[in-house]
């Protein structure tokens, strides 16, 4: 039996036990009634104590959503979602919005501890050098339970809080930017999100400020039949810099759970935003049962001159992934980057990529996408690079590499390129490869086990992207990829 065959068998044998974040937290929750109507939207808005304009904004979104159809162009298939059979709001009873750590339910703190996300500032302070500190906004089902290091960030002028809090404390800032990158009616899921989003993170970095630490949000879906709709809004004012990391997990459940987030980034003149995601939602079991449906709209607007937005994503979880973090390169000399690793195994279906919309002059973008398919999964890269009529000297470089492990998976590359300006230079490179028996044998002859060999080869394959992650997360991401592919390593 060739070595690769064994690897395939091993990959096949992975079952749900490998997903180590599959536990459920027993905590009482307060839910809105099942289903979606205007009253539910009003309920959510009232729960959040939102201003009137926000409720109107939501209701407008809800009415538009009722007229829209689910998009079907992605290469994913799943039974039709019954949007009336979901809970749109679920909050741990003890945590109505962020409080000080002392007031947070110990059960919740324990949950995050189990996930490896320390929330107690004292403990973090004791163990970590100042430059390596990470401020965390922890979102549990529909609400943000706590945000750490808020005071320290405030000293630097940085606002980092839940979006619910921002709507109460900084309504003008939110109103100015919310929906300005992803309009209310952008697409079916974004519109749904606009109507019912319950929480998420808000970041504002003022002019000339370099955010003193990494910011991070950790999303956890816990409750049954609950959709998570979070909304993240990050603004880097002129000359500001911020690096932000998002992590996600969910319990193992037999039914599919819906996650439909919207993330908006705005970079003004000379500002830079680096947004990294390590997505590890529950992917479903070995028969493809359960798992998260992940329909996410992420878009960054390089609104100012010389601004820069960089997306880095490591996608290992979810039953269905539908996600295209994009950049609108509006400001002259602005720059967009997209670095992606998408790992699919079992029956996972990934349709992910990016859009680089070149509008300003001398804009440039770079896309590096690494897809790894194993098991019976399907992994599609879908990307659009376009240059507007006025976007003179637009530059893009795209590299899409796919790695196949086994015979039953698929890798697909669907690039769209539109240049309406004759000075645009767009380059596209794509490769598809398999881990060869010869590579496996060579590694094994040197003493590596099957699993070590696959991990090494795969890590070599994704190296260009891993390098883009903040140091602390690069190691985690490598481990996560190994676990997703093999089961027993790590």
Partner 1 sequence: MLEIKNLHARIAEDETEILRGIDLTVKPGEVHAIMGPNGSGKSTLSYILAGKEDYEITEGDILFNGESLLDMEADERAAAGLFLAFQYPIEIPGVATMTFLKTALNAQRKARGEGELSTPEFMKRVKDKAAELNITMDMLKRPLNVGFSGGEKKRSEILQMSLLEPKLCVLDETDSGLDIDALRIVADGVNRLRSPDRAMVVITHYQRLLDHIVPDVVHVLSRGRIVKTGGKELALELEKNGYADYVGEQAA
Which residues in this chain contact partner 1 in the complex, by CB under 8 A? 1-3, 436-439, 441-450, 452, 456-457, 459-464
- State whether the Cα torsion 27-294-161-39 is positive or negative: negative
Query: Nearest approach, Cβ of 366 to partner 1 (angstroms)?
Result: 18
Query: Nearest approach, Cβ of 431 to partner 1 (angstroms)?
Result: 10
Query: Nearest approach, Cβ of 441 to partner 1 (angstroms)?
Result: 5
CA distance 242 to 253: 35
The residue (of 146 and 443) whose beta carbon lies closer to partner 1 is 443
The residue (of 228 and 373) whose beta carbon lies closer to partner 1 is 373
The residue (of 77 and 445) whose beta carbon lies closer to partner 1 is 445
The residue (of 130 and 447) whose beta carbon lies closer to partner 1 is 447
The residue (of 37 and 436) whose beta carbon lies closer to partner 1 is 436
Beta strands, E only, 208-267 = 214-220, 231-236, 241-249, 256-259, 262-267
Those residues with Cβ within 8 angstroms of residue 31's Cβ, 6 or more apart along the chain or in another chain = 87, 89, 90, 91, 223, 226
Query: Nearest approach, Cβ of 437 to partner 1 (angstroms)?
Result: 8
The residue (of 324 and 461) whose beta carbon lies closer to partner 1 is 461
Query: Nearest approach, Cβ of 482 to partner 1 (angstroms)?
Result: 12
CA distance 47 to 447: 59
CA distance 261 to 14: 29
The residue (of 384 and 448) whose beta carbon lies closer to partner 1 is 448
The residue (of 13 and 467) whose beta carbon lies closer to partner 1 is 467
CA distance 417 to 64: 30
The residue (of 409 and 462) whose beta carbon lies closer to partner 1 is 462
The residue (of 34 and 446) whose beta carbon lies closer to partner 1 is 446
- The backbone torsions φ and ψ at residue 363, rounded to the nearest 5 degrees and listed phi first, read -90, 150
Do the beta carbons of residue 345 and residue 11 sit within 8 Å?
Answer: yes
Nearest to 381 by CA among 436, 318, 429: 429
Query: Nearest approach, Cβ of 5 to partner 1 (angstroms)?
Result: 8
Beta strands, E only, 206-348 = 214-220, 231-236, 241-249, 256-259, 262-267, 272-279, 291-302, 308-315, 320-323, 326-329, 335-344
Do the beta carbons of residue 242 and residue 274 sit within 8 Å?
Answer: yes
Chain Cα centroid distance, residue 460: 23
Helix (H, G, I), strand (E, B) or coil at 173: helix
> Looking up tokens 């009336």, which residue turns up?
84
- The backbone torsions φ and ψ at residue 98, rounded to the nearest 5 degrees and listed phi first, read -70, 140
The residue (of 41 and 314) whose beta carbon lies closer to partner 1 is 314
Query: Nearest approach, Cβ of 374 to partner 1 (angstroms)?
Result: 18
Query: Nearest approach, Cβ of 459 to partner 1 (angstroms)?
Result: 7
Do the beta carbons of residue 364 and residue 338 sit within 8 Å?
Answer: no
> Looking up tokens 């309009």, which residue turns up?
183
What are residue 398's DSSP bridge partners? 367, 428
DSSP 210: B
CA distance 142 to 93: 11
């Amino acid at each position: 039996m060739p070595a690769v065959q064994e690897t395939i068998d091993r990959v096949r044998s992975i079952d749900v036990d490998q997903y180590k974040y599959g536990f459920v937290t027993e905590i009482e929750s307060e839910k809105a009634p099942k289903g979606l109507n205007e009253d539910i939207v009003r309920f959510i808005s009232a729960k959040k104590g939102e201003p009137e304009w926000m409720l109107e904004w939501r209701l407008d979104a809800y009415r538009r959503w009722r007229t829209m159809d689910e998009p079907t162009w992605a290469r994913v298939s799943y039974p039709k979602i019954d949007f009336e059979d979901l809970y749109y709001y679920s909050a741990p009873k003890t945590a109505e919005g962020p409080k000080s750590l002392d007031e947070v339910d110990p059960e919740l703190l324990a949950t995050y501890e189990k996930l490896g996300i320390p929330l107690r500032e004292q403990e973090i302070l004791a163990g970590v050098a100042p430059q390596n500190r990470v401020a965390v906004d922890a979102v549990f089902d529909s609400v943000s339970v706590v945000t750490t290091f808020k005071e320290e960030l405030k000293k630097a002028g940085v606002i980092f809080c839940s979006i619910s809090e921002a709507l109460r404390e900084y309504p003008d800032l939110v109103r100015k930017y919310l929906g300005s990158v992803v309009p209310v009616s952008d697409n079916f899921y974004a519109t749904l999100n606009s109507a019912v989003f319950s929480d998420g993170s808000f970041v504002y970095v003022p002019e000339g400020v370099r955010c003193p630490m990494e910011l991070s949000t950790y999303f956890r879906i816990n409750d049954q039949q609950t959709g998570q709709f979070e909304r993240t809004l990050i603004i880097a004012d002129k000359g500001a810099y911020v690096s932000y990391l998002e992590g996600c997990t969910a319990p193992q459940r037999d039914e599919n759970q819906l996650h439909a987030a919207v993330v908006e980034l705005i970079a003004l003149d000379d500002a830079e935003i680096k947004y990294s995601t390590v997505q590890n939602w529950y992917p479903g079991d070995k028969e493809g049962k359960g798992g998260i449906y992940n329909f996410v709209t992420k878009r960054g607007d390089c609104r100012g001159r010389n601004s820069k937005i960089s997306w880095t994503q490591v996608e290992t979880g979810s039953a269905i992934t539908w996600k295209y973090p994009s950049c609108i390169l509006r400001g002259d000399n602005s720059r967009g980057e997209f670095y992606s690793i998408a790992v699919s195994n079992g029956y996972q279906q990934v349709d992910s990529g990016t859009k680089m919309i070149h509008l300003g002059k001398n804009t440039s973008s770079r896309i590096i996408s690494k897809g790894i398919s194993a098991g019976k999964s399907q992994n599609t890269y879908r990307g659009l690079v376009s240059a507007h009529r006025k976007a003179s000297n637009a530059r893009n470089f795209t590299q899409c590499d796919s790695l196949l492990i086994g015979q039953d998976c698929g890798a697909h590359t669907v690039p769209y390129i539109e240049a309406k300006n004759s000075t645009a230079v767009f380059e596209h490179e794509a490769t598809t490869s398999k881990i060869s028996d010869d590579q496996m044998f060579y590694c094994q002859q040197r003493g590596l086990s099957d699993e070590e060999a696959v991990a090494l080869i795969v890590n070599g394959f994704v190296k260009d992207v891993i390098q883009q992650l903040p140091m602390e997360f690069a190691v985690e991401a490598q481990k996560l990829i190994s676990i997703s592919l093999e089961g027993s390593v790590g």
